[in-house]
Amino acid sequence: MSRSAHPAGPRHADVLPEGHYAAPAEDLNALDPKVWAHTVARDADGVVTVGGLPVTQLAEEYGTPAYVLDEADFRDRARAWRTAFGADADVFYAGKAFLSRAVVRWLDEEGLNLDVCSGGELATALAAGMSAERIAFHGNNKSPEEIERAVRAGVGRIVLDSFQEIVRVAHVAQTLGKRQRVQIRITVGVEAHTHEFIATAHEDQKFGIPLAGGQAAEAVRRALQLDGLEVIGIHSHIGSQIFDMSGFEVAAHRVVGLLKDIRDEHGVELPEIDLGGGLGIAYTSDDDPREPHEIAKALTEIVTRECEAARLATPRISVEPGRAIVGPTAFTLYEVGTVKPLDGLRTYVSVDGGMSDNIRTALYDAEYSVALVSRASDAEPMLVRVVGKHCESGDIVVKDAFLPGDLAPGDLIAVPATGAYCRSMASNYNHALRPPVVSVRDGAARVIVRRETEEDLLRLDVG
Ligand SMILES: *Cc1c(COP(=O)(O)O)cnc(C)c1O
């Protein structure tokens, strides 16, 4: 993951040598099912539809930019994870990827649990009627108010992230006359991103308690002594946008090693292990994510094998996919405002949103694809950079892509796979009004998060 975007100034255009770019797709009108939501298709007139509705109609009714979310696809993916892991495991959807009350209800109906990591996320989950026992509370610096609220609400688990937090949560629980179920988050010295993982020196980060130097074991020792806590397991989350399972293999090996040490020292076999989330999705046709059933099989085998070797009963496994469930289910619909060819370089296509609705490109150099969706075109491909309307040169949505050469102002384009970490990280930069999330299903659309208005902005500005 690189951090090349500079917050304050223009970012040097990285002009790459001729011929560097992957060739354009053979047919720019084709929609790769890997990157688009399940019900997305192009109709006989060349207009893209989702849930049976043409995007032209959605743009007219709800405006642009808008996040368009395929509810059937969301439910399919949630259910696929649930089914893949079966009754002996738990799937916690990571709410930070995208959370709204509608989404919480879908998850509830599909039998998934929910991770939250702030008072706001907890409030959203509870407001939607999710039962507190199915909520896990995360975060490396939960405030005393957040801890008290979570314990009072009766959340199913709090994931403890530091030595201070062990005593804080124990104290709150005891004061309230409760015994709080907790997991202890450890760092196993593995960090995984995309196609590789690094197995050394990655304990240098803010989350979790390092396994190294016996710190994690000491944390468990302390937590086991506190009346306010019921220690149910160990938690490990190794990264994001991961395709390679070997990082999980090393993590599981090390977590099980700790479970064995705990058994040997305290005579207690902790009943649960959480392997976190981070499973990758296809942002472009070059990405090949694994299916939930393959991931479930691989993780279950790894844990079972490690536990057999350590002569431990296999603990109940939980996982926390966020991106892998919601990411592919939504696209961002934009209207093209200007088309500016720069001779010998590329064509800049400006849309009516930008880094305020998708910060990932500026923040992580994330890759996206893009398509013309309001019509089909047989024009020659042109190399484009899709940019927003904000006052930053780094305001890039799609760094390099091909769109038809006859692209013009007023056309609608869509960026797929924006369901995760786009609306949830959206900002009001330049006093942008954050776009709505429109969910579609079986030929009907409804707004699940409405567009912000200038009134919303001014309501906070008390003059
Ligand atoms: C962010 C996060 C997740 C979800 O990550 P994805 O990449 O969206 O799957 C799961 N667990 C924890 C603890 C996280 O911080």
Per-residue pLDDT tens digits for 32-80 = 999 999 999 999 999 999 999 999 999 999 999 999 999 999 999 999 9
On whether both 273 and 332 belong to a single domain, the answer is no
286 in the same domain as 174: yes
Are residues 47 and 153 located together in one domain of the fold?
no
Residue 187 dihedral angles phi and psi, to the nearest 5°: -110, 130
Report pLDDT digits (tens) over 367-380: 999 999 999 999 99
Q: Is 279 in the pocket of ligand 1 (CB under 6 A)?
A: yes
197 lies in the same domain as 285: yes
Position 199 scores a pLDDT of 65
Residue 150 sits in the same domain as residue 297: yes
Asked if pLDDT for residue 1 goes beyond 50, the answer is no
The alpha carbon of residue 242 and the mean position of all alpha carbons in its chain are separated, in whole angstroms, by 12
Residue 64 sits in the same domain as residue 142: no
Is residue 88 domain-resident? no
Query: Does 296 lie in the same domain as 158?
Result: yes
Question: Distance from the CA of 58 to the center of ligand 1, in angstroms?
Answer: 31
> Per-residue pLDDT for 260 more than 60?
yes
pLDDT at 10 over 80: no
Instruction: Clarify whether residues 274 and 192 are in a common domain.
Output: yes
The mean-pLDDT minimum among 14-18, 277-281, 303-307 falls in 14-18
Residue 196: its pLDDT value, please?
75
Residue 102 inside a domain? The answer is no
> Based on the domain organization, do 337 and 405 belong to the same domain?
yes
Could you tell me if 382 and 405 are in contact, meaning their C-beta atoms sit under 8 angstroms apart? yes
| Choice among 193-207, 263-277, 443-457 with the minimum mean pLDDT | 193-207
pLDDT at 166 over 70: yes
In a domain, 83, yes or no: no
322 Cβ inside 6 Å of ligand 1: yes
Min mean pLDDT across 10-24, 241-255, 272-286, 307-321 is at 10-24
Residue position matching structure tokens 């109906």: 109
In a domain, 50, yes or no: yes
Domain boundary among 270, 296, 321: 321
Name the domain count of the chain.
Answer: 2
- Domain endpoint, select from 287, 302, 321: 321
pTM above 0.85, yes or no: yes
Query: Ligand 1 atom closest to Cα of 235?
Result: 13
**Residues 387, 360 within the same domain:** yes
User: Which contacts (CB < 8 Å, 24+ apart) does range 249-254 have?
Assistant: 249/302, 250/188, 250/190, 250/197, 250/199, 251/188, 251/190, 251/275, 252/299, 252/302, 252/303, 252/306, 253/302, 253/306, 254/188, 254/189, 254/190, 254/211
Look at residue 6 and tell me whether its pLDDT is greater than 80. Answer: no
- How many angstroms does the Cα of residue 424 sit away from the middle of ligand 1? 13
Each residue's pLDDT tens digit, 220-244: 999 999 999 999 999 999 999 999 9
160, 136, 250: which is closest to 200 by C-alpha? 250
For range 104-133, the mean pLDDT: 98
95 pocket-lining for ligand 1 (C-beta < 6 Å): no
Residue with tokens 């220690």: 231
CATH number at residue 234: 3.20.20.10
Q: Is 418 exposed, middle or buried (0-12, 13-18, 19+ CB in 10 A)?
A: buried
Where residue 276 falls among pLDDT bands split at 50, 70, 90? very high
What is the domain-level CATH number for residue 437? 2.40.37.10
DSSP one-letter string for 162-198: SHHHHHHHHHHHHHTT--EEEEEEEE-S-EEEETEEE
Quote the domain boundaries for residue 359: 41-70+328-460
Residue 422 is among the residues annotated as catalytic for this protein: no
Note whether 297 and 390 are same-domain residues: no
pLDDT bin (cut points 50, 70, 90) of residue 20 is: low
Tell me, yes or no, whether 63 and 182 share the same domain: no
Give pLDDT, residue 205: 84
pLDDT for position 249: 93
**How far, in Å, from the CA of 20 to the mean position of ligand 1?**
33
pLDDT in tens, 424-455: 999 999 999 999 999 999 999 999 999 999 99
pLDDT over threshold 60, residue 209: yes
Ligand 1 binding pocket includes 239 (Cβ within 6 Å): no
Last residue of a domain, one of 267, 290, 321: 321
pLDDT of residue 5: 33
Q: Does 92 reside within a domain?
A: no
User: In the structure, what pLDDT confidence band is assigned to residue 4 with cuts at 50, 70 and 90?
Assistant: very low
For the segment 244-268, the average pLDDT, to the nearest whole number, is 95
Categorize the per-residue pLDDT at 200 as very low, low, confident or very high, splitting at 50, 70 and 90.
low
